[in-house]
C-alpha cells in the first residue's frame, strides 16, 4: 500500500496531517433547543486524529431543520454548545469545519416554526422520502429521547423571491456564528436532496424567477450563498458538498454532468477552499464515470474530497489516480474513533450498529473501542 493517505496537505491556513476526512454525519443527539452537548464534544474529540472533521449537518435556522434532535447554529446556547465541541477537538490536536444545513422541503410541519409547511424552490413533493420526528411532537405520551418515528416529509410551499435573499443572509449569519463557536471553517450542504440541491436540480426547481429555469438561474442560489459565506469567513475557509448523481432523497437533474461541472466552475471562480463530492448516500451509490471525475479535477483548482464507500485500497487508488486530495470515510469513522491509526496499521475495523446511528444515548456513539482497548 502506498503512503498517499498519510501525506500532509495544506487547506488554506491549516495543515492536515493526513488525507482522511470524517465526513458530516447526523447523529441526532442534541439536547432541548437543538443544543450540542458535552457527549457530542466527547464523540468528536475521540475522532480528532482525522485530517479534517466535518460536523454533522447543523441547521442555519429553525426552518432548516428536517429531523428530530439535530443541532442548530442560530442561538447563543447552540453556539456555546458548539464552542465546547471545537475546543475539545482542538485540545486533541484536530481540525473541524461546521456543515451548514437547510433541509428545504425534507422536513415535517411538526418541526417547523408554528407548524407551518416546509419551504422549497417549488411546491413539489418528493414521494416516499421520509424524515424522522419526535412522536411526542404529535401528541404521543410515551417514548424516550432518540426514539424517532419515520414519516413522509410534509408538502412544501414555494419560497417567494424576497425570502431567498433572507436565506442567503441566514447562511452568512450561521457562518459567522460558526467562527464564533471556534470552527476552522464551514461546509455548505449542497448535497443529498436538501435545499441547495433542490435549487440546483431541474427536477426540483420549476421556478420562473431569477432562481429557476435556465442553468444559470438554478446555480444562482448556490452562488449567492457561497459568495456571502466566503465574504464572512474568507473563501479558503469555505467548502461545498455536492452530490451530482445521488437521487435517493428525491432530487434529479436532467443533465447532471453539465449542471455540476458548471457548479464546479463557479466555485472555482469564487476561490472556495474545497469541493466535497458525495458519491454515495447509504446504498444509493451510482457509479461516477472516470471522465466526470477527471473533468471536475480539470475545472476546479482547489482541494477535492470524495466520500462514499471508501476503504483503504479504493482511497489509495483515487489518490494515486489524482482525482482527489482527501477521502471521506463515513460509517467506518462512526465505529472506529481511531480510524487513521487502524488504516495505517492495516488493523481490523469495528463494525457499526446502524440501529444506534440516529438518536439515543452514549451507546453506539462514544463507546466504540480503540485499538489499544482491543489489544489490551
Ligand atoms: C448516520 C449517517 C448520517 C449522515 N448524515 C449526513 C449529514 O448530516 N450530512 C451529509 O452531507 N451527509 C451525511 N451522511 C452521508 C455521509 O457523509 C457519507 O457521505 C455516507 O455515509 C457515505 O460514506 P461511507 O460509505 O463512507 O459511510 C450521513 C451518513 C450516515 C451513515
Q: What is the pLDDT of residues 318-332, one digit of tens each?
A: 999 999 999 999 999
pTM of the model: 0.97
- Identify the pLDDT of residue 143: 53
The x, y and z cell numbers of residue 263, run together, are 457548479
Pocket of ligand 1 contains residue 357 by CB under 6 Å = yes
**Alpha carbons 317 and 90: distance in angstroms, whole number:** 30
The phi and psi torsions of 88 (rounded to 5 degrees) equal -65, -40
Domain definitions of the chain by residue range: 4-375
Pocket of ligand 1 contains residue 356 by CB under 6 Å = no
Kindly tell me if the per-residue pLDDT of 284 is higher than 80. Answer: no
What are the Cα distances from residue 245, in Å, to 117, 296, 321? 28, 14, 21
Using DSSP bridges, classify how beta strands 20-22 and 52-59 pair: parallel, antiparallel or unpaired: parallel
Q: Of 43, 44, 67, 194, which is the active-site residue?
A: 194
pLDDT band at 32 (very low <50, low <70, confident <90, very high): very high
Kindly tell me if the per-residue pLDDT of 145 is higher than 70. Answer: no
Q: Say if CB 98 and CB 182 are below 8 A apart.
A: no
Pocket of ligand 1 contains residue 330 by CB under 6 Å = yes
Q: What is the pLDDT of residues 236-250, one digit of tens each?
A: 999 999 999 999 999
Active site residue 368: no
**Alpha carbons 347 and 371: distance in angstroms, whole number:** 8
Task: Please give the helix or strand (H or E) that residue 46 lies within, else none.
Answer: helix 38-46
- Identify the pLDDT of residue 15: 98
Asked if CATH classification 3.90.550.10 holds for the domain at 4-375, the reply, yes or no, is no
- Identify the pLDDT of residue 175: 98
- DSSP structure class, residue 207: -
Q: What is the pLDDT of residues 179-229, one digit of tens each?
A: 999 999 999 999 999 999 999 999 999 999 999 999 999 999 999 999 999
What are the Cα distances from residue 249, in Å, to 125, 204, 246? 11, 11, 8
Among 21, 26, 336, residue to substitute to test ligand 1 (most atoms within 8 Å of Cβ): 26
Cα 213 to ligand 1 centroid, rounded to whole Å? 30
Q: Which ligand 1 atom sits nearest the alpha carbon of residue 357?
A: 1
Pocket of ligand 1 contains residue 6 by CB under 6 Å = no
Amino acid at each position: 500500500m502506498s503512503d498517499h493517505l498519510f501525506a500532509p496537505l495544506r487547506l488554506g491556513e491549516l495543515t492536515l496531517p493526513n488525507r482522511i476526512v470524517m465526513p458530516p454525519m447526523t447523529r441526532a443527539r442534541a439536547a432541548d433547543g437543538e443544543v450540542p452537548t458535552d457527549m457530542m464534544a466527547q464523540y468528536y474529540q475521540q475522532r480528532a486524529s482525522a485530517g479534517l472533521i466535518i460536523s454533522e449537518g447543523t441547521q442555519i435556522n429553525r426552518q432548516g431543520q428536517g429531523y428530530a434532535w439535530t443541532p442548530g447554529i442560530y442561538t447563543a446556547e447552540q453556539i456555546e454548545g458548539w464552542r465546547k465541541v471545537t475546543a475539545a477537538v482542538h485540545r486533541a490536536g484536530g481540525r473541524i469545519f461546521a456543515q451548514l444545513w437547510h433541509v428545504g422541503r425534507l422536513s415535517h410541519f411538526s418541526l417547523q416554526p408554528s407548524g407551518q409547511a416546509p419551504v422549497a424552490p417549488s411546491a413539489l413533493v418528493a414521494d416516499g422520502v421520509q424524515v424522522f420526528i419526535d412522536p411526542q411532537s404529535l401528541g404521543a405520551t410515551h417514548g424516550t429521547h432518540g426514539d424517532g418515528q419515520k414519516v413522509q416529509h410534509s408538502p412544501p410551499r414555494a419560497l417567494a423571491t424576497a425570502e431567498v435573499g433572507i436565506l442567503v443572509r441566514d447562511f452568512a449569519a450561521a457562518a459567522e456564528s460558526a467562527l464564533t463557536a471556534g470552527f476552522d471553517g464551514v461546509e455548505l450542504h449542497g448535497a443529498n436532496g436538501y435545499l441547495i440541491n433542490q435549487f440546483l436540480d431541474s427536477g426540483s426547481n420549476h421556478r420562473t424567477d431569477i432562481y429557476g429555469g435556465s442553468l444559470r438561474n438554478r446555480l444562482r442560489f448556490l452562488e449567492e450563498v457561497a459568495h456571502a459565506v466566503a465574504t464572512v469567513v474568507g473563501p479558503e475557509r469555505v467548502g461545498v458538498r455536492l452530490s451530482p448523481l445521488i437521487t435517493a432523497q428525491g432530487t434529479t437533474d436532467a443533465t447532471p454532468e453539465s449542471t455540476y461541472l458548471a457548479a464546479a466552475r463557479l466555485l472555482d471562480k469564487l476561490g472556495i477552499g474545497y469541493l466535497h463530492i458525495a458519491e454515495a448516500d447509504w446504498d444509493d451509490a451510482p457509479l461516477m464515470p472516470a471522465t466526470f471525475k477527471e473533468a471536475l479535477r480539470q475545472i476546479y483548482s482547489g482541494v477535492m474530497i470524495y466520500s462514499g464507500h471508501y476503504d483503504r485500497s479504493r482511497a489509495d487508488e483515487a489518490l494515486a489516480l489524482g482525482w482527489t486530495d482527501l477521502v471521506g470515510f463515513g460509517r467506518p469513522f462512526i465505529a472506529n474513533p481511531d480510524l487513521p491509526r487502524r488504516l495505517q496499521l492495516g488493523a481490523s475495523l469495528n463494525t457499526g450498529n446502524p440501529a444506534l446511528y440516529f438518536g439515543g444515548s452514549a451507546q453506539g456513539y462514544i463507546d466504540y473501542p480503540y485499538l489499544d482497548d482491543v489489544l489490551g
